[in-house]
Structure 1
Amino acid sequence: MKIIGIGKNYVNDTSEIAAIKTGAQTIFTKPDSTLVTDNRDIGFPKITNQLAYEVELVAKIGKRGKDIALNDAESYISELAVGIDYTAKDVLAASRENKGPWALAKGFDGASPISGFKPIADFKDLGSINYDLKINGAQKQVGNTSLMIYSFAEIIAYISSFMTLEAGDLIFTGTPASGTGLVVKGDHLQASIEGELLLDFKMV
């Protein structure tokens, strides 16, 4: 099972998309040891003092595919969840000083908490799905998939041109362009899709 992420994939207004959309998607991978399920609380990682959150929709791949055609790509999604893509910002900054990769800053244990999944059939329009993140009851991020630079289908087609996608692979599809920030020990995170609370845990 692979965990794949896409960076910088949202705008604040759809009018911004045309100027930004070059076809060069920012793709990274995360080890499966980052995954946290079942709304388990997460220990604040010792490797960072600057833990940044990004709420994202997570697409689960339902069948094997390589060089997937754009017009067929959505059929490879079996389910959707909501998750947090954590980044250790200080670790990332140190790596970037030496032109290093994102691997350690996004690949530490607990860096990918996700909710339970909902069948893709529950979503009538993948181009207009609402989701959000609250921390300690305060709204922090609000997203709608209409503001994605690259759609679910475009992400899947692009990734599959480089690597075979397998059933069970997870794709973090990007975070809303506004509202990201840092969490601290004791914070309570709650993420919803279409108003349904699905992810609910604390940093401990």
Structure 2
Amino acid sequence: MAFVFDPIPQPSVAVAGSDDRLPVRRVFCVGRNYAAHAREMGKDPDRDPPFFFTKPADAVVDSGVAVAYPAETSNFHYEAELVVAIGKAGRDIPTQHALDHVWGYAVGNDLTRRDLQLAAREQGRPWDWGKAFDFSAVIGPVHPVAQVGHLGRGRISLSVNDVLKQDSDLANLIWSVPEIISILSQSMEMKPGDIIMTGTPEGVGPLVPGDHCVIEIEGLGKIETPITERVKGQA
């Protein structure tokens, strides 16, 4: 068999303390998973069940890589998130066994074209154009569970140009990591290389060219993303 054109390289993320890389299969994202963020987005966290959206695997970009201000938006936002990397397959995973399927954890930035997301939400349409664009999933090195353990709490913060914008704790997640994995696995089989971005705290806001975005999670270190000018010729 031959491909009619060369397939794209396997998307992957770095592994902390190693030259190895973790292959990325799918990227799942949890919507409105911190109560204060749900409220700032105009929703009631006590009424909304967990819901998910996805990003393509090749939207993943490493920490430190410059991200150009994307096309078709004038309201480009940061979102600090805990990232979970799945290392063991499973379907209908009980909550009490869900952490057995975690390979490691990382720091992530769910970059968002907020104006496109909100326009789609108001029309009852999918969020793809607001969430699933090129370079929209910044993910730092994955720290193996064997080295960092499981993270049920710990500070998560984000700053832009050294100004603190988001500051919360992983303990404030509405749906915990084991619950998220269990719920996802009821819909489809989880497999090694699946990535879960678990949601962002309150304080989301805009980025502009020239900004330097830094996210830190206690126990996982920090990631950095410089924002550059829109690519010439883009709308």
TM-score using structure 2 length: 0.78
The within-5 A match list for 1:30-109 is 30-109=55-134
In the alignment, the residues of structure 1 paired with residue 151 and residue 82 of structure 2 have an alpha-carbon distance, to the nearest angstrom, of 11
Structure 2 counterpart SS, 1:150: coil
Structure 2 counterpart SS, 1:39: coil
* Residue in structure 2 matched with residue 2 of structure 1 by the alignment: 26
Q: Deviations over 1:42-96 (max 9, x none)?
A: 1110121111111000000011111111100011111111111111112123323
Task: Say if 2:225 is the partner of 1:201.
Answer: yes
* Cα distance change, pair 152–195 in 1 and its aligned pair in 2 (3 A): closer
In the alignment, the residues of structure 1 paired with residue 126 and residue 191 of structure 2 have an alpha-carbon distance, to the nearest angstrom, of 24
In the alignment, the residues of structure 1 paired with residue 212 and residue 191 of structure 2 have an alpha-carbon distance, to the nearest angstrom, of 33
* Cα distance change, pair 96–8 in 1 and its aligned pair in 2 (3 A): closer
- Residue correspondences, number: 197
The within-5 A match list for 1:13-24 is 20=45, 24=49
Q: State percent identity of aligned pairs.
A: 35
Task: Say if 2:205 is the partner of 1:181.
Answer: yes
Could you tell me how far 1:191 is from its partner in structure 2? 1.2
* Residue in structure 2 matched with residue 143 of structure 1 by the alignment: 168
Q: Letter of the aligned partner of 1:43 in structure 2? A: A
In the alignment, the residues of structure 2 paired with residue 161 and residue 198 of structure 1 have an alpha-carbon distance, to the nearest angstrom, of 32
Could you tell me how far 1:107 is from its partner in structure 2? 0.5
Structure 1 counterpart SS, 2:68: coil
**RMSD of equivalent CA atoms:** 1.9
Could you tell me how far 1:131 is from its partner in structure 2? 2.0
In the alignment, the residues of structure 2 paired with residue 61 and residue 114 of structure 1 have an alpha-carbon distance, to the nearest angstrom, of 14
* Residue in structure 1 matched with residue 187 of structure 2 by the alignment: 162
Higher relative contact order structure (alpha carbons within 8 Å, sequence separation ≥ 6): 1
Could you tell me how far 1:114 is from its partner in structure 2? 1.0
Q: Letter of the aligned partner of 2:203 in structure 1? A: G
In the alignment, the residues of structure 2 paired with residue 71 and residue 23 of structure 1 have an alpha-carbon distance, to the nearest angstrom, of 23
Structure 1, gaps ≥5 residues long? 13-18
TM-score using structure 1 length: 0.89
Q: Which consecutive segments of 4 or more residues in structure 1 shift more than 3 A? A: 19-23, 121-125
In the alignment, the residues of structure 1 paired with residue 74 and residue 45 of structure 2 have an alpha-carbon distance, to the nearest angstrom, of 32
* Cα distance change, pair 66–169 in 1 and its aligned pair in 2 (3 A): same
Structure 1 counterpart SS, 2:92: coil
* Cα distance change, pair 21–151 in 1 and its aligned pair in 2 (3 A): farther
**Structure with bigger gyration radius:** 2
Structure 2, gaps ≥5 residues long? 1-24, 37-43, 229-235
Could you tell me how far 1:132 is from its partner in structure 2? 1.3
